[in-house]
Homo-oligomer: A and B are copies of this chain.
Amino acid sequence: MKVFIEPIGKLINQFTKLPGVGSKTAQRFAYEVMNMTQAEVEEFADALVRVKKDVHYCAVCGNFTDGDVCEVCKTRDKSIICVVKEPKDVIAFEKLHEYRGVYHVLHGTISPMDNVGPNDIRVKELLARIKEGGVEEVIMATNPDVEGEATAMYIASLLKTLGVKVTRLAHGIPVGTDIEYADEMTLSRALADRKPL
């Protein structure tokens, strides 16, 4: 005999599709749902469906939006573009409440190993935005891994021919970390990029 009846088993199975959720956690989630009211569960289900129906990519920057063009593209300083890999990187910057420019979401990084070339990510859309004029600086904010670095270098080389200033996020010791625990690559970059006090 099965341990779970079919509807509960199905829901547990759905929860295990979420990142970091194993069968034990999924089971706890499913039993929590059983304790919700019918209205609460319907609201939950509705939020799931609506997020897929109402949210799509911004026609300008490629970030998630529920309109045609996202709020950031509509209201912010278009002279600075911060180039990121994914929409969730935008959230990381937005949480700072410091950055006043706009974004460009690549939706991936160049990775020959995975058969992802420059034409598979939103590079030409970025070039088109810059050719329209008014852009003074492009901040390359891809991850500091092999693919992220390669993508930043590639895009920087294209942008320089267009005469736009290209910068890269600083690498160094994370704030609050002991130097003792910093990895060699990070420490080496921190040393090379040292600043006068």
Q: Taking beta carbons and an 8 Å cutoff, which residues of A are in contact with B?
A: 1, 3-8, 10-11, 13-14, 17-20, 25, 27-34, 36, 38, 40-55, 64-66, 70-72, 75, 87-88, 91, 94-95
Contacts and interface: CB of A to CB of B under 8 A. Distances in A.
Given A20-B25, A45-B46, A46-B45, A30 B51 contact: yes
Nearest to A88: B31
Nearest to A50: B7
Q: Which of the listed residues A41, A48, A87 has the most CB atoms from chain B within 10 Å of its own CB?
A: A48
Contact of A20 (B19, B28, B51, B54): B28
Contact of A55 (B8, B19, B47, B75): B8
A94 B6 CA distance: 15
Q: How many copies does the complex hold?
A: 2
Contacts of A34: 51-52, 55, 64, 87
A48 B1 contact: no
Contacts of A48: 11, 14, 33, 41, 44-45, 48
A43 B14 contact: yes
Contact of A3 (B36, B41, B91): B91
Contact of A5 (B7, B29, B38, B71): B71
